[in-house]
Amino acid sequence: MADLPVSPPTLDEQAAQALRGILDDPALPVGSTAAGPDGPRIAALREAHDFVSSQKLAVTAAWSPEAAGALVDSLARIDPTLAATLRWHATLAPFLSALPASRPRNALLGNIRRGELFTWATAVGAWTWRDGSAPDAERPLGRADGEIESDEFPGLYDTVLLWEPSASALVALPTHRARLSWEPVEPPTADAGRRWKITLTRVTIHADELVRLETDPRTSPAWREPGGAWPEPGAAWPEPEA
């Protein structure tokens, strides 16, 4: 991946020690997050994510599926829960890297290179474009209403990616976007644990936040569900364009 740094920050012992310190003795927020369900756990993970993001420790995930797997493994040696919260990032970053170059795809990779952390909308319950269709080059700004789900607290991430079939595009939804809110889905399920409903009300989305694909990315040979087997080195990952 020629457009990524040659020597990205690595999870060295000093960073690992800092992460252990955060998870052992987090600076629990005194306000909203910790007051919610599962608050102390979320707060500790959020601070750990802040550290991972600010130190750009997850940048390597975009290099290759092997690098992404190695990142998750190294995080799991520090804290398996922390590693689990980054498994979607470790899936999505190499997947995006493997897509053909385009302005939206390149912008997302740039964000990952700056330390942003991504997750996946595990369910899309509703999605409507206020103007009847997704934004495009002629009409670059669109507004969407919708309800999607995440399998972790959305505030841990910078961006939620979702598949929007009517636009045939991956939508990159920044979690800090105005008129976007989230709440826990009650009750937690035994198999999937706590899920979060993310509600969009007239949320502005730019055409450059849509990565156009021909098919649902989950049907791509390059797609790997978190927890699934990582592809063997050199396996059927499409070659990225320059």
Compute the distance between CA of residue 159 and CA of residue 195 in angstroms, rounded to an integer: 16
Q: Judged by CB, which is closer to other proteins: 24, or 214?
A: 24
Token pair 């750990």 is found at 48
Question: Applying CB under 8 A, does 213 fall inside the site for other proteins?
Answer: no
Q: Judged by CB, which is closer to other proteins: 48, or 134?
A: 48
Bridge partners (DSSP) listed for residue 198: 148, 182
- Of 21-29, 101-109, 208-216, 226-234, which segment contacts other proteins by CB under 8 A? 21-29
The distance of closest approach from Cβ of residue 48 to other proteins in the complex, given in angstroms and rounded to an integer, is: 9
Give the helix ranges, DSSP H, for the chain. 13-24, 32-35, 39-54, 65-78, 80-85, 87-98, 103-113
Q: Judged by CB, which is closer to other proteins: 64, or 119?
A: 119
Q: Judged by CB, which is closer to other proteins: 54, or 215?
A: 54
Exposed, middle or buried: residue 106 (CB in 10 Å: 0-12, 13-18, 19+)?
middle
Q: Judged by CB, which is closer to other proteins: 11, or 167?
A: 11
Question: Applying CB under 8 A, does 46 fall inside the site for other proteins?
Answer: yes
Q: Judged by CB, which is closer to other proteins: 134, or 198?
A: 198
1, 4, 28, 185: which one contacts other proteins (CB under 8 A)?
A: 28
3-state secondary structure of 69: helix
| 74: Cα within 13 Å, side-chain hemisphere | 20
5, 21, 100, 125: which one contacts other proteins (CB under 8 A)?
A: 21
Compute the distance between CA of residue 209 and CA of residue 136 in angstroms, rounded to an integer: 10
- Cβ-contact 88, 112 below 8 angstroms: no
Question: Applying CB under 8 A, does 22 fall inside the site for other proteins?
Answer: yes
- Of 50-58, 64-72, 188-196, 223-231, which segment contacts other proteins by CB under 8 A? 50-58
The distance of closest approach from Cβ of residue 233 to other proteins in the complex, given in angstroms and rounded to an integer, is: 29
- Cβ-contact 159, 173 below 8 angstroms: yes
* Interface contacts to other proteins, rule CB under 8 A: 12, 14-15, 18, 21-22, 27-33, 46-47, 50-51, 53-55, 155, 158, 176, 178
